[in-house]
Structure 1
Amino acid sequence: MFIGHTRFSLFDPNSGGWRASNGSRFSTVEEYQAYLFADERLDPRCEIFVNHSLPQLALAAENFDVAHVVSYSAHLPEKHQRILEEAGQSFPFLVLDRCEGGTPTITPLTIARNEFRSGEQPAGASPAFAIYRLDDDDLLPVDFFEQMTPYVRPENAGMMVSLGEGATALYINGAYYNVRQCYAPMIAIGLLSICQFQANGDLIQPRGHAHNFSDRKNPVILDSRKPGFLWTRHASQDTSLGWGERDNDDMHDVIRRYMDKYPAASPDNGFGDAFPVIADKLFYQPEPLNGRVERFQRELVLSRDPIRFEVADLEGAITFALHLNCSEGATENNAVMTFEFADGPAELALDPRASKVSLSTDPAIGHYAYIPTAPGSTEQRVSIKLPEGVRLRAFGIQRFRRHETRIAVSDILVHEHLQKVAN
């Protein structure tokens, strides 16, 4: 038997485990509650959990004995409670746990005890069973229980299982962008505990600990042969609270830079097969291409002199995605992008915080932005925001500092977003 648990925005102001409730962001309980139950936070979570994650789980649960507890607060807005209640009617394996306080009243162990210590089991130890965790904005693959079944055996009671290889993606308006390969052993998504009740009623289970330290307290079986999770990133995640007040575009840029440490994925990685419910919503480009796009594809080796590209008078928010191949000596910001504008003199003043464009004291460089660089093959992004009336006519790319470094560019995608940015 497999028993899962999701804490769906459970209101627990006394918890120190969540950035939203540990006092580092909100000064009052009322502020915390307003944040926790805001539509802009809950709506995407409901969409992901009910329309993507649960249908995935339903496919995975076919031919397996599965129960999944969803603990949610009695303070949750009525419309979101109604969505969860309707999901409970649509997915028979769901067990809804409406909590007056911040502590779940039904846990996976509650269900296990009812199942195995009800007196209906034959004398002796119970079969081994498994408990797993799933956050409300992450997904498990369609073969999750199939992958886990070989390990759920009595002799493994007290051990844990981690599927260490998966995908991470940026969720924007109902779809998943910037899909990346993500190797993250002991990630919380789907982390499994193997348990068993002994004949005397004692429970063998792994010792509790932070998920990323599981192997300090328990033996952990690590299997990274197939996709084991989809870790969703989005602007309304609680982890984003530590990144300050930003609009969604800025937050997406921060998240993408964080995701750059993972290699870019492609359809060949099999994520569409692992997550069929969202296969048509997986996009390997960094973001929705909802405006003009220009592409430059040729192998270029950067030098001290800029390589210049003309564009068709772009304005507003512009994103450059570059495929780079850098030698081992590459350091951060080892390349720079320069800009020429169709309007205004060379000394045109742009607010560097708003535009992400700086003005160099070196007239040979002029307006510029650093290109992130690192050894190996990477995809990097540079995003700028031009005030109304300023148009980009051309850009250049060149090596910067450490001129012994070899930096080659194979592909540049220039994306002008439809929405313009005002002063």
Structure 2
Amino acid sequence: MPPGIFNQKRLTLPSPINMSVRLFHLKNETNSSCPDLKGQNYRASFHTRSSAKGPRKKIYRAHLEGDGPRKGEHAVVKVFRQAPGTEAMCDAEMSKHVLARKLARKFNKMVPDVSDKGESSQFPKYFKILPHVLIFREASPGDRIRRSHIIMDNVIAFTMPLKSTVDKVGMGNYLFHHSRQLDKCEWVLIEENLVVDQQYQLFLRKNGDRAGKDPTSLDAFVHFTYLESGQKYVLCGFQGVYSDDAGYKLTTPCIHSLDQRFGPTDKGLNGIQTAFSKHKCNNLCYNWPKPDEVDENEAERMEVSSENESGDDSRSSDECEGAISTDSTVAFGMDHLNDHNVSDEDSEKSSADSVDGKSPNGSLVNGGASAKSNRKFVTGEKANAGFVNGEN
């Protein structure tokens, strides 16, 4: 036996566990995301087995990594099912969130906030609607409303996802059966996990059908989005969580638009009509015009315009003004729009939002509820602007 054989060091091999950690990734990981609303970038580490599936996306539990204040926060990663995600697909989804968030903020400001004290409470603010024109007014001391006649769950908010690409694919993707394997470098969405402490619910289906029996502010919000867009689109398909303290927190909505530019779930005019066929107005929106009413008013205006152009003087101008004022005035629970004068500030805001005209007596008159309105709508902001830091 050669000398010194017992003094040689033993050769050690790495354990199988250490080798697996070294050679394989146990979880999927993303690259750094686009900045969130506070300018912070995050990575997501997510499971290799999905926790939920939808027709278009798979949901994976995840947590955020990075240097921002949301480090360690529970999140979900949404992966497109039919094909590897692209940046354009992510931007299209995010544009829905941007639009929904802006509409929700406007709706929350306009819906009255009723105090919890007392049998009845005073409206701090109420609003009246003409098609394409929103007029804000302070309530007079005599305007009171019973708490039992107003819906209280009026706070609506939407999440804002981040987009990123897959950096590392975990070995668990090859252990479980998947209809499509996750690809490295494909685009995914990173979103707040709403089901950590609350129950995830479907409130309103994509066709506008209400999931529950009781009316909620979401029903009025559907109607509001139709008016605010100038009858160009409607939002529905609301799902997320609800709490008495914070109201609704919702994920990606479904949008039906006349030009069908909101992806495969956008059913166009048929989607709008179907949503309103399922819609039941409540105390927040019962006086707002619906698609069939808008069409009827437009036909009447076209008929009156045709008569005026042909020189038919059988009807006096006073009668025409009375007909327009009666047909176009829509009030929120009140019928005295002409009892108050519009302030200079309100007039400037209304002009900026394109008021078509005024009647000889100074009251606002609807100059057209069709798509011919010159109003600047929220939809003018393109999908690729969905990732601007900070929303107005």
TM over 0.5: no
- Quickly name the TM-score band, shorter chain normalised: under 0.3
Q: Which has the higher strand share?
A: 1
Q: Which has the higher helix share?
A: 2
TM-score by length of 2: 0.22
Higher relative contact order (CA 8 A, sep 6+): 2
